[in-house]
Amino acid sequence: MSGKAAPVTACRACGGALGAVFCDLGTQPVANSYVPLERAEAPEPRFPLRAVVCRGCRLVQLDTVVDAEGIFSDYAYFSSASASWLDHAERFCTAMTRRLDLGARSFVVEVASNDGYLLKNFVGAGIPCLGIEPAANVAAMARAAGVPTETRFFGEAYAHELVARRGDADLVAANNVLAHVPAVNDFVAGLSVLAGPRGVISIEAPHLVRMVDGAQFDTIYHEHYAYWSLLAMEAVLGRHGLRVFDVERLPTHGGSLRVLASAADRAPSGTLAAVRAEEVARGLAHDAFYEGFETRVQATLRDFRAWLWQARTAGRRIGAYGAAAKGNTFLNAAGVGAADILAVADRSPAKQGRLLPGSHIPVVTPEALLALAPDDILVLPWNIGAEIAGQLRAAGFAGRILTAVPAMRELAG
């Protein structure tokens, strides 16, 4: 991965002044840069991991940007690894097909389409579609699965090129990608071009309100350049002629919003009004909402370190599950290393046989982790904790299964 990084001196959305620090997690390696065994002794690039608040549009964003091409050109995240996420994608496709009356004469585009996890549903329904995925290794998997995919970074110029070739899209899905975009105005301008005057844009993003409520600091990492409220999202969409007309609250990623927008004038939904009202009531336009988050983060880390010390003092063998980016943020913020945790299990072959960035905990198969006979397993991707706990119990694990965010707790499994 590239070692290029640059400080941010103004809001990347509105150009306004950056204000208070929301959360400072020190310097960390890039969360999805898994370390090959042969490079275990080589120094890892580390960059400041600090989120601040724009004084103008209130977008929470990192104040250091790590080169996106270095992060995403060869990526280790595969959406199809989670059964619950595949179910979520299938439900989305079914709902949007009905709502927008999509069919054989329609055109659906997903930006940041990963391994085809979502678009394969449209392929199966005979609805013309195209994936746009910057990571060459991931895009190749999508094409192998029969999902038409172009390996490109998305922006306004590419959107004009695509419209010239294929025409406007009826649906543009940009789900769980907005956080990953450093040049957000170029990206949103591209969405507007691609959807044209009548198409619908669907954006899913973790909701900043739920992030604050759940002390979800481990979703802060270099691949996530920004953390979105409806307030900030409506501002950047409106700058490019897009009007939000509906919002859906989702349980995914600890609490997300699905935002539907279009250049066309559509009647706003009641849920949109409700989410707007919630953010006003919570004070997202004012400094007080953003204060105190880091204090809660440090309390979570202290509690985890105390639990870890007690468990290790008692001679308990501790494993982890899920080599997720959020887990890497958490482990590095907590100062955990390979001496503390036996190994972390992950179903992704792209991660197995490597070391976690920073902590250098080895990544193994789930079967290999269970063979190490841990007493406790810490689930790092807490957002799918119930799914993982069920898998571990089905595989015969009888020990404690725990998560640490926002506080230590056992999962039933």
Inform me whether the pLDDT recorded for 70 exceeds 90.
no
Q: Under CATH, to which class is 79-290 assigned?
A: alpha beta
* Tens digits of residue pLDDT in 76-113: 556 666 788 899 999 999 999 999 999 999 999 999 99
So what CATH class is 293-410?
alpha beta
Rounded to whole angstroms, the Cα distance separating 262 from 274 reads 19
- How do residues 368-394 score in pLDDT, each as one tens digit? 999 999 999 999 999 999 999 999 999
Q: Do 79-290 and 293-410 show the same overall fold?
A: yes
**Alpha helices per DSSP H over 219-363:** 230-238, 270-282, 293-313, 325-334
Token digits of residue 228: 């979105």
How do residues 356-375 score in pLDDT, each as one tens digit? 999 999 999 999 999 999 99
Distance CA 105, CA 13 (A): 35
Note the pLDDT of residue 27.
96
For the cut 80, the answer to whether the pLDDT of residue 73 exceeds it is: no
Q: Where are the domains of the chain?
A: 79-290, 293-410
Residue 2 has pLDDT above 50, yes or no: no
- 3-class secondary structure, 230: helix
pLDDT at 4: 80
Closest CA to 149 of 166, 135, 165, 130: 130
- Segment 115-164, tens digit of pLDDT: 999 999 999 999 999 999 998 889 999 999 999 999 999 999 999 999 99
CA dihedral 304, 355, 81, 318 (to 10 degrees): -40
Phi, psi of 303 (to 5 degrees): -65, -40
Q: How far does Cα 70 stand from its chain's mean position?
A: 17
Confidence (pLDDT) at 72: 55
Distance from C-alpha of 206 to C-alpha of 409, rounded to nearest angstrom = 22
Q: What is the pLDDT of residue 135?
A: 87
pLDDT-derived band at 5, boundaries 50, 70, 90: confident
Residue 1, pLDDT > 50, answer no
Find the mean pLDDT for residues 189-216.
Answer: 97
Residue 69: pLDDT band with limits 50, 70, 90: low
pLDDT value, residue 67: 77
Residue type, 216: Q
Query: For the segment 7-30, what is each residue's pLDDT rounded down to a tens digit?
Result: 999 999 999 999 999 999 999 999
Identify residue 225 by its one-letter amino acid code: Y
Rounded to a whole number, what is the distance in angstroms from the first to the last CA of the chain? 37
Which residues does 42 contact at the CB level (< 8 Å), separation at least 6? none
Q: Which of 389, 388, 379, 327 is nearest to 358 (CA)?
A: 327
Q: Given this model, what pLDDT does residue 71 score?
A: 55
Residue 228 confidence class, pLDDT cut points 50, 70, 90: very high
104: which 2 tokens? 């054989």
**Whether the Cβ atoms of residue 152 and residue 158 lie closer than 8 Å to each other:** yes
Does the pLDDT of residue 192 top 60, yes or no?
yes
Q: What is the pLDDT of residue 68?
A: 60
Residue 82's pLDDT is 76
Cα–Cα nearest to 46, from 63, 29, 25:
29
- Could you tell me which of 48, 73, 77, 76 has the C-alpha nearest to residue 63? 48
Q: pTM, whole model, 2 decimals?
A: 0.92
What pLDDT was estimated at residue 78? 65
